[in-house]
Chain A
Amino acid sequence: MNQAEVDTTQLLKGVLDLAVLAVLSEADSYGYDVVRRLRENGLDHVGDASVYGTLRRLYQAGALNSYVVPSDEGPHRKYYGLNNRGRKALDQSAQTWVSLSKALNHLLNGRSNGHGK
């Protein structure tokens, strides 16, 4: 693992809650499916353990509902979905993210004019 990847992982950790909440706001989902959807949306570096741990923590914090759906082929799946508390948390985090990313973009735009990478 090189230095650049470490940084990506660190960055992801900060926004993983938001990303997971966002995925679940589209549709209820189970652990592995959340990972897959995050990766499909371009978050290639997201780790399975990180997502699973985040889901468990958000559930423990009371932001998620959980229910089990039997599956024909394979184990039964534990689905997670947002409850009111989760939706509120998502809204707040999304606002924070928007203002934060705006500020960061501004900073980065000024910098990228000077020298690339």
Chain B
Amino acid sequence: MASNDQASDVAAYAASVRAALSDLPRDQTEVLLEDLEDHLREIAAEAGGPLNERLGPPQQYAEDLRAAYGAAQVNPARQDPALHDLQRGLAWVTGSTWYRQTRAFLPELRPAWWVLRAYLAVLILMAAISAGYNLGPIPNPVTKRGFVEILATGVAIWLSVRIGRRSRKLSQTALVLAYSANMLIALLAVMVLGNMRSFAYSELIGTANPQQTTFANAFAAGQVTNIYPYSQDGKPLTNVLLYDQDGRPIMVDKSEAQTSYPIGADGKAVTNAYPLTQRHLNGDLVVAPRVAFPPWPTPTTSPTATPTATPSPSPH
């Protein structure tokens, strides 16, 4: 049996015995159990094998101890029955095989925690020095920041393992400090990780929002299938060529009506001369909608722009 297992076996067994005797007055248990651990360690070292097999269940051991010590039996009437049940339950849990196996196994997880705490510490550091930065659980190695984060995590793990391996030799105060630091890391990590999740969520919303790419979508009212230009004094214009800010011909959404485009001299259709000539499926012309003109302040000049019927395919 490895000495590590043995130590945790002794600790678990002693804890169970103490739990079973927890109803005794404190001064009595102190004298009785003063060097229980040392005694059990002696047995474990000389006899070998799990203490449970060697000495029987810790509850029985506790009862034998109580009898041999001649400890005063606690008056059941004096003791709160609920408390007694609780102590019994606690003794049952700490004396059970699975509890002792779990306790014996936990120390083996130590190196895993050393690695994890290093990773978390770097994560907390990154969150602290880069407020608002979109921190992820796994750093992106392509970005400079992510690369630095990975490098820092590597160094932190190396350091953390070094510290962890030396923790057995630490003094009592250093141990308390180390425990506090571990608790702090765990606590801060919960906060950082909690924030991280909300970051990712808002990011998702951002990308889910469809980009307004088409001309027609700019109009909240719905599809735009034709454009009817008027002059300032309200005269309908024909064959008005529309271009966007980049000089591209503006196209409208396809409608159910059939659209016939004027054909240019080069044989290509002119698709941005408005209004478009459209016919319903039954052949009737689509008529212009009724429009309400805005009341102009005082019309001084009335520019009469009447484009020619032969537009050139390219502007300027």
Interface residues of A (CB under 8 A from B): 13, 16, 30-32, 47-54, 56-57, 60, 73-78
Q: Which B34-67 residues have a C-beta within 8 angstroms of A?
A: 34-36, 38-39, 41-43, 45-46, 55, 60-67
Chain B residues contacting A16 (CB-CB under 8 Å) are: 68
Q: Which residue of B lies closest to A20 (CB)?
A: B68
Once the chains bind, are B66 and A53 in contact (CB under 8 Å)?
yes
Q: Is B31 an interface residue (CB 8 A)?
A: yes
A57-B69, A60-B31 in contact; A50/B64 too (CB < 8 A)?
Answer: yes
List, sorted by A's number, 10 A–B pairs whose CB atoms are closer than 8 Å.
Answer: A32-B46, A48-B55, A49-B61, A49-B65, A51-B68, A53-B32, A53-B67, A57-B68, A75-B45, A78-B38
Main secondary structure, interface of A, reads: helix
Q: How far is the CB of B28 from chain A (nearest CB, A)?
A: 9
Q: Which residue of B lies closest to A33 (CB)?
A: B42
Q: Which residue of A lies closest to B37 (CB)?
A: A75
Q: Sorted from nearest, which 10 A-B pairs have the closest CB atoms?
A: A53-B68, A49-B64, A53-B69, A53-B65, A50-B68, A75-B41, A49-B65, A32-B42, A49-B61, A74-B45
Among A13, A50, A78, contact of B35 (Cβ-Cβ < 8 Å): A78
CA distance A51 to B39 in the complex (A): 11
Q: Which residue of B lies closest to A60 (CB)?
A: B31
Q: Which B63-107 residues have a C-beta within 8 angstroms of A?
A: 63-70
CA distance A31 to B35 in the complex (A): 10
CA distance A60 to B69 in the complex (A): 10
Chain B residues contacting A78 (CB-CB under 8 Å) are: 35, 38-39
Chain A residues contacting B69 (CB-CB under 8 Å) are: 53-54, 56-57
Known: A51-B68, A54-B68. 15 other contacts (CB 8 A): A13-B68, A16-B68, A32-B39, A32-B42, A32-B43, A48-B61, A49-B68, A50-B67, A52-B36, A52-B39, A53-B66, A57-B68, A75-B42, A76-B38, A77-B38
Once the chains bind, are A74 and B42 in contact (CB under 8 Å)?
yes
Among A31, A47, A74, contact of B64 (Cβ-Cβ < 8 Å): A47
Chain A residues contacting B62 (CB-CB under 8 Å) are: 49
Once the chains bind, are A56 and B31 in contact (CB under 8 Å)?
yes
Chain B residues contacting A75 (CB-CB under 8 Å) are: 38, 41-42, 45
Q: Which residue of B lies closest to A59 (CB)?
A: B31
Q: How far is the CB of B67 from chain A (nearest CB, A)?
A: 7
Q: Which residue of B lies closest to A17 (CB)?
A: B68
A50-B64, A75-B45 in contact; A57/B70 too (CB < 8 A)?
Answer: yes
Name the residue among A30, A32, A57, A60 with the largest chain B CB count within 10 angstroms.
A32
A56-B31, A60-B31, A77-B38 in contact; A48/B68 too (CB < 8 A)?
Answer: no
CA distance A49 to B60 in the complex (A): 9
Q: How far is the CB of A114 from chain B (nearest CB, A)?
A: 35
Chain A residues contacting B43 (CB-CB under 8 Å) are: 32, 48
Q: How far is the CB of A101 from chain B (nearest CB, A)?
A: 22
Q: Which residue of B lies closest to A36 (CB)?
A: B46
Name the residue among A47, A53, A76, A78 with the largest chain B CB count within 10 angstroms.
A53
CA distance A77 to B35 in the complex (A): 9
Q: Which B273-303 residues have a C-beta within 8 angstroms of A?
A: none
Q: How far is the CB of B39 from chain A (nearest CB, A)?
A: 5
Chain B residues contacting A74 (CB-CB under 8 Å) are: 41-42, 45
Q: Which residue of B lies closest to A52 (CB)?
A: B39
CA distance A73 to B42 in the complex (A): 10
Chain B residues contacting A77 (CB-CB under 8 Å) are: 38, 42
CA distance A13 to B65 in the complex (A): 11
Q: Which residue of B lies closest to A66 (CB)?
A: B35
Name the residue among B34, B42, B45, B60 with the largest chain A CB count within 10 angstroms.
B42
Q: How far is the CB of B2 from chain A (nearest CB, A)?
A: 14
